[in-house]
Structure 1
Amino acid sequence: MPHTFDDAAVAGVLGHMNGDHADDNVLIARAFAPGVDIVGATMTAFDGDGGEWTVVTADGGAQLVRVDWPNGPISERREVRREVVALYDEACRRSGIAPRPHG
């Protein structure tokens, strides 16, 4: 059973990802759901095993994209950032674009 994060951690991470990294959400979803024509993505959940994005497709449909954390299961809030950054870096690699520096 994957680790479940408390409501404050979930709200904080989702608020940050959807407020400050909307473009990264789309990049990650597209990279990990090849063949799906994604025009929008919102991070909607995460647990100790991975993150979930609800995507909007070009035809107006919606579907869930779940991506496992690259470094395996986690259980600490501070690890979420590390794993999202790793997903972003891998999404950039898969998409053939240079990732921006992480600060």
Structure 2
Amino acid sequence: MKAEKIKDLALNALDDLKARDVITLDVREMTDVTDFMVICTGTSNRHVKSLADNVALDLKHKGCQAMGIEGVDHSSEWALVDFGEVVVHVMLPDTREFYDLERLWSVPAA
């Protein structure tokens, strides 16, 4: 499955469970590790877990198995679902602000 399709399916799965502040970063020019990062916020530890689980399960049903899933225990502040070409990060608001992945992976001004 192509990266764009995986990204779109992940965005739909996050929307289904009301993920907040969802953004997509195109990092193809910055790294060979992945093509897209999807970053969103969950409202509680349980919401973070539910969002990550829903993305993994929804895409699995559509033929795209996650390569790895991290941080989906009940006390998680940050969960990650890795589909290779697309990596989904689900974080609590304070965790997202602290790590500021958007700034870290933003394209530098020319």
TM-score if structure 1 supplies the norm length? Answer: 0.30
Name the structure, 1 or 2, with higher relative contact order (CA <8 Å, separation 6+): 2
Greater percentage in helix: 1
TM-score, normalised relative to structure 2: 0.29
